[in-house]
Copies of this chain bind each other. A is one copy, B any other.
Amino acid sequence: MARRKATQSIQEFPLIRQLQRRHERRSPLIRKGIGDDAAVVSIPAGDWAVLTTDLLTEGIHFNLHTASPASIGYRAAMANLSDIAAMGSTPRFLLISIAIPAAIRTADIHALYRGLMSACDQHDVRLIGGDTSSSRRGLFLSITLLGTTPQGHALFRNGACVGDGIYVTGTLGDSLAGLQLLTDHHAPHRGTRLTKTDRDFLIERHRHPTARVREGLWLNQSQLATAAIDLSDGLSGDLRHVCEASRVGAVIDLARLPISSACRAYADRQKTDSGALALAGGEDYELLFTVAPRDEQKLERQARTRRFQVTKIGTIRPRRFGLQTVASDGTKAPLPVTSYRHFT
């Protein structure tokens, strides 16, 4: 947080200080916020610190021509909140670093921060610092989020055991469908028409995903999950991470994948398979987690009480089994390897 003097656009710096001060909120846990060499915060007694960071680069993770600065900021914050949620932890403090090219309008930077902070405000996350720089080469955004969790209690990727049920929160594929609607809007409607409600729902799920922080805290506190990850790369990729970390295999029951009616309608229109969207779609920011067989009933009961949508979509198998899908007709196939393209 040293305040480096840059060789250009030094007039940006008062703007950022103004932005950071505008978005700074008091908290009894913050001993020193923005404006010293470093921020100083209290960690609740006996808690572990949980840290995640993301670097977002123009032309790779976002494109200012097709996404609004507010949406870029919102989604950047939500991606980090989702990582903390996947650890079953409470997100608390945010650091924002930003490299700003000369061509960017001040209003766009304001909007980016508004987006970032609107995601954080939902979870009482406080801005405590960051760094700013000019950039000769496009906009870069780096976010670090600090969460906390009671000592000895965190959800990891590596705890899945053979026989565990595989669950997800919410519905899958909506964000990818929303992204396709935003970027392929000149594509012909191949099937039935999509209602405005469905279209708006899918685009909203892409633009404003919700990190499953409450669900993560519940899974951690209840000790019902044996492993967890957030779905940022898509079910197909992220399940692979859990299985690699846990040294197990898995089978996914395609008929059980939770797919919204809007996503089904979109898949119908595109004459595509909604299951494929659900497997490949990234940035849903739902949680994927595993549950020991003896706890599955208890988990489902607690989820109903709390009004959390959770769906069992498969089972952990021995490693030699690999990763498979099973269709409603019983056809088995290897889980596809997909690479989600985070670009809007």
Contacts and interface: CB of A to CB of B under 8 A. Distances in A.
A133 B142 CA distance: 11
A32 B48 CA distance: 11
Contact of A51 (B35, B46, B128): B128
Interface string A270-288: 0000000000001000000
Interface in A125-173: 128-138, 140, 142, 144, 146-147, 149, 151, 154, 156-158
Interface residues of A, number: 85
Contact of A95 (B10, B51, B135, B233): B51
A61 interface: yes
A111 B310 CA distance: 46
B41 A5 contact: no
A134 B38 contact: no
Interface string A239-261: 00100010000000000000000
Contacts of A10: 339
A233 B3 contact: yes
Contact of A340 (B5, B144, B157): B5
Nearest to A54: B131
Interface string A17-47: 0000000000000011001111111110111
A144 B43 CA distance: 17
A58 interface: yes
Q: Which residue among A98, A129, A133, A136 has the maximum number of chain B CB atoms within 10 Å of its CB?
A: A133
Contacts of A39: 50-52
Interface stretch (A78-86, A114-122, A193-201, A311-319): A78-86
Contacts of A237: 3, 5
Given A55-B132, A99-B55, A232 B87 contact: no
Given A5-B339, A154-B32, A45 B46 contact: yes
A219 to B, nearest CB: 13
A37 to B, nearest CB: 4
Interface string A77-104: 0010011101101000101011100000
A279 to B, nearest CB: 15
23 contacts: A5-B237, A35-B157, A36-B157, A36-B158, A36-B245, A38-B84, A38-B147, A39-B52, A40-B49, A43-B43, A43-B47, A51-B95, A51-B128, A51-B129, A53-B131, A53-B142, A55-B133, A55-B140, A56-B133, A59-B137, A60-B99, A135-B140, A137-B138
